[in-house]
Amino acid sequence: MATITAPRVRFQITRPQIHALVKGLLFISPALLGLALFAVLPMVQSLHYSFTDYNVLQPPFWIGFENYQDLFKDRLFWLSLVNTLVMVLIALPIHILFDLAMAFLLNTKIRGLPIYRTIFYVPSITPVVASAIVWLWIFNGQYGILNVVLRLLGLQPVGWITDPNWVKPALIFMGAWFGGNTILIYLAGLQEVPPELIEAAELDGANAWQKTWSVTLPMISPVIFYTIIISIIGYFQYFTEAWVMTATREGSAGGPANSALFYAMYLYQNAFQQFKMGYASAQAWVLFVIVLIVTGLLFFSSRFWVHYHAESA
């Protein structure tokens, strides 16, 4: 019995295609070069430094896994990690829900809606340091407006920045101020929800909550997933607001009893104040692994709650 063999398909590239490929590579070469010099190369160097004793002023000395061993014995390392996890597990859900609620409100048809949208967006384009300084005065124990309001209500003033129990709540409260970008992203997602789906739910007798839970939220779940990923990465690198709010004249930061010492702040102190570059590089790679694991778990869980339009079509 004769066997039939499939004809070989030869991959051929023409001269115009070669020219187009060369032109394309030339056009993207600045971006590739910048990525290699300012992203890939520093990452490789930091991985090497994490296995060395390096203080910038002297050549690095290979010490193996000693930095990592010392890191896991460091009390401030664990304290900064716990403080950061508090922001990730508590502040992130609060801010996501707040931004989502504001997006729902801004998606309604009321007079002057563009003005309200602008009001919510402007703080997100204000320099973070300038905003943090303003909030530092708002949280001032003696002259801050929040404590003035508390006194008018007959309540005791709160040491928002000086009390270890109130530093993180104050930072969480302040974080809602910077949610303009996320609110606009949610708003864009809400405006892409097909109105016929809402109308179909209304014909089936669904109330407002049922329409939101069963139609609107599943339709914008890819947008929510995106903002959660971006926000988690940002909160694991939480730095600027806490540093400005808790910095002292001596140059240290972290709040009373290091209650606001976050992971990125401790990394900065090791790297640029104590010049323990090898130790800080090890700390950075531990953070990279943690963020990689968390985002990997989120991507795995997304198959159960993220719904894309193409899947439902």
Could you read off the pLDDT of 118-142 as tens digits, one per residue?
888 888 888 889 888 999 899 988 8
- Whether 146 and 40 share a structural domain: no
- Whether 39 and 121 share a structural domain: no
- Whether 45 and 75 share a structural domain: no
pLDDT of residue 10: 60
- Whether 123 and 258 share a structural domain: yes
Over pLDDT 90: what percentage of the chain? 43
251 Cβ partners below 8 Å, 6+ apart? 273
Stretch 177-193: mean pLDDT, rounded? Answer: 88
Question: Which residues, listed in sequence order, are joined to residue 119 by a DSSP beta bridge?
Answer: none
pLDDT of residue 248: 75
Does residue 237 form part of some domain? yes
| pTM, 2 dp | 0.85
- Whether 38 and 177 share a structural domain: no
Q: What is the identity of the amino acid at 120?
A: F
Does residue 108 form part of some domain? yes
pLDDT in tens, 145-166: 898 998 888 888 888 888 889 9
SS3 of 51, please?
coil
- Whether 197 and 273 share a structural domain: yes
Task: Check residues 291 and 211 and name the one with the higher pLDDT.
Answer: 291
Q: What is the DSSP letter of 213?
A: I
- Whether 253 and 306 share a structural domain: yes
* Residue with the two structure tokens 């692994």: 289
- Whether 138 and 280 share a structural domain: yes
- Whether 184 and 287 share a structural domain: yes
Please state the φ and ψ torsions of residue 138, each to the nearest 5 degrees. -65, -35
- Whether 19 and 95 share a structural domain: no
Does residue 244 form part of some domain? yes
In this structure, the number of other CB atoms found within 10 A of the CB of residue 8 comes to 5
Does residue 63 form part of some domain? no
pLDDT of residue 47: 94
C-alpha span between 159 and 142 (Å, rounded): 9
- Whether 220 and 97 share a structural domain: yes
Does residue 57 form part of some domain? no
Does residue 25 form part of some domain? yes
* Residue with the two structure tokens 């997602």: 189
Does residue 2 form part of some domain? no
- Whether 43 and 146 share a structural domain: no
pLDDT in tens, 38-92: 889 999 999 999 999 999 888 999 999 999 999 999 999 999 999 999 999 999 9
**Range of the structural domain that residue 32 is part of:** 15-49
C-alpha span between 273 and 252 (Å, rounded): 9
How many domains is the chain partitioned into structurally? 2
CATH code of 240's domain: 1.10.3720.10
pLDDT of residue 88: 93
Q: How far is CA 156 from CA 146, 149, 153, 250, 262, in A?
A: 11, 10, 9, 30, 28
Does residue 20 form part of some domain? yes
